[in-house]
Structures are given as structure tokens and as C-alpha cells.
Amino acid sequence: MRKPITLAIAAAIAGAGAATAPMQNLSAATSMPYKVIAPKNALPASRNDAELLQDYGSFALYRTATRSIASTQGVLAASADMDVLQFTAQPFDTQRGSLNPPAPFSLQAASGPSLQVVQFVGPVKKEWLDALAAHGVVPVQYVASNGYIVWADEAAQAALSNLRNSMSWLQYASPYYGFLKVDPHLQQRLSANAASTDEVDVTVQIYRHDGDDATRQFVESKGLLPPAQQAPLPTPVPAPGGRAQPRRFLATRDPSPPLHGSRAANPSTGPGEAHGPVPFPSLRAP
């Protein structure tokens, strides 16, 4: 008997035999909950209503107590979404909000090497990406605003947790939860008829890593079609400098390209110099 498509897809995303880990606490507010980007020297250091978070040379990032602040160059307005990770499946504010997983997903994550999500305090600096890489954390895909999907094994995940607790430039780190990878069109279909046993064509992308053959076999095992009948995807082309690219496998009869799981945009500064955006795991309904 076939499992409902919601359970099958949740299992395919979560993995097999995985231990679980609770989501970190998304605590909120400070006495200065707003962030303002100001031109150089627009806010003197002597002011007590603005706290300098990061200096970028030609501009600086400040924390303020109000939504706008007077400066030497006029009134500056706080950014409304600087702390929001713009995942298409569920945008959320990492400092004030919380994630709400749709059934049958939960805020639990598989143990072992996996994709993680980080968010920096402001526009991304290359030195921050270099610091992650120095601890074995591999940047994969930029996510607006000021975020990255990264790859980390267990040692790198421990290092990432330490960085989150010790470095002011890293304000959020958590697993890349399964429901954030599901295209909203597919999620709507699941929500409309969660108990359905109908066939659904989906595209699954996986990140190229040492264990990706086992991941591929696991994903293929969840499909109704045997691998020989599954539509092929082009062989990935290595990135300049040998940087790992995602490896994609299709558990579907639909060869159309997948939709991305986040609203990725070029970072304001820094990460575009490190590497360009690349695809990352998603699922799509036809």
C-alpha cells in the first residue's frame, strides 16, 4: 500500500534513520531592535541612540532604538527586512519571529553532514565567508537577506555553533529544515489533500558531497518509477577553482528545471566575490 505523498516526500527530504535535534531558540529583542545603514560619518560615534555594528568603509551598519534616525545627511530609515531570511516556502525573521512547519514536517533535523542555514548581522563580508570556510563550513548559496545555505559535517556544525555564540557578525545558524526546501506549489498540493496516494512528479536536487551516492539511491528508492525510467539531468560542470557544485538527480518523469527554494539575490557586498549563486535542493509539483 502506498504511503500518502506528504509522508513520502517528508521522508525523502529528512533522510533515513536520522536522529533529531531541536531548533535553536529564536530569541528576539534588544533595546535597539532596528538596523540602519548610514553613509560614512553620517552618525558620529558620540551618539548614544545608535550602536555601530559593522564598518564597511563607505558605509556602516548601526543598531537603533527607533525606526528612523536623524543624521548629518538627513533622516535615515531602518531596513524592514534585514533580519528576514527570504525563503519562498516561508520567509521568517531570525531575531523576532519563529518557523512554523506545515504538517507533516517538524523542527527536527537529521544528524550527520548536512545543509545548514546561517545569517550574518548585515551585508556579507568576504572575510566572514573565509572564516566559515576555515572551520570546514562550505558556503553554497546566498539567501536574501544576508544569509547563506552552507554545507557542514558534524565537526563543522560544532564549529558553526561556537562561531554563532562567539562572533557578533554571525547572528543565526540552524539546520536547513526540510519544509524550507519544498516548492510552495507542491506544498499547496500537499495541504489540499494530505492523504492522497496520487502520483506526483517531483525534481530533487542534492549537494555534491562524499556520500551523495547513498543520498541518490535513497531518493531514487522513494520514486514510483525505476531509475532507468527517470528523466535524466545534465552532468554538472565543475565550478572555477574546483569548487563543489550541487549534483542533481531526478525522481520524476518531468524534465523541466526545478524552482529554487529561496529568493536568492546578489549580496550587497562580499559574497559575490567569493562565488556566484548555484542551485540547491528543492521539490516541485508539475
- What span, in angstroms and rounded, lies between the C-alpha atoms of 94 and 267? 18
CATH number at residue 116: 3.30.70.80
Chain segment 156-195, per-residue pLDDT in tens: 999 999 999 999 999 999 999 988 988 888 878 777 776 7
Q: Residue 87 is which amino acid? A: F
Kindly report the pTM of this predicted structure: 0.72
Rounded to a whole number, what is the distance in angstroms from the first to the last CA of the chain? 24
Query: Does some domain include residue 279?
Result: no
The grid coordinates listed for 97 are 519571529
Burial of 168 per CB tally in 10 Å (0-12, 13-18, 19+)? exposed
Q: What is the pLDDT of residue 28?
A: 36
Q: What is the pLDDT of residue 58?
A: 94
Q: What's the domain count of the chain?
A: 3
Same-domain pairing of 71 and 142: no
Q: What is the pLDDT of residue 39?
A: 94
Chain segment 71-114, per-residue pLDDT in tens: 999 999 999 899 999 999 999 999 989 999 887 888 888 788 99
Domain that holds residue 62: 34-77
Q: 3-class DSSP state for residue 104?
A: coil
Same-domain pairing of 88 and 159: yes
The grid coordinates listed for 222 are 522513494
Q: What is the pLDDT of residue 251?
A: 35
- What span, in angstroms and rounded, lies between the C-alpha atoms of 100 and 105? 9
Same-domain pairing of 154 and 220: no
Q: What is the pLDDT of residue 279?
A: 35
Q: What is the pLDDT of residue 192?
A: 78
Q: What is the pLDDT of residue 231?
A: 62
Residue 116 φ/ψ, nearest 5 degrees:
-125, 165
Q: What is the pLDDT of residue 173?
A: 96
- What span, in angstroms and rounded, lies between the C-alpha atoms of 130 and 132? 5
Chain segment 207-238, per-residue pLDDT in tens: 888 888 888 888 888 777 766 666 655 555 44
- What span, in angstroms and rounded, lies between the C-alpha atoms of 134 and 167? 14
Angle at 176 between CA 2 and CA 86, to 5 degrees: 110
Same-domain pairing of 129 and 60: no
Same-domain pairing of 119 and 135: yes
Same-domain pairing of 221 and 237: yes
Q: What is the pLDDT of residue 271?
A: 35
Selection from 190, 51, 177 nearest residue 107 by Cα: 177
- Host H or E run for residue 233: none
Question: Which residues pair with residue 172 across a beta bridge?
Answer: 119
Query: Does some domain include residue 29?
Result: no
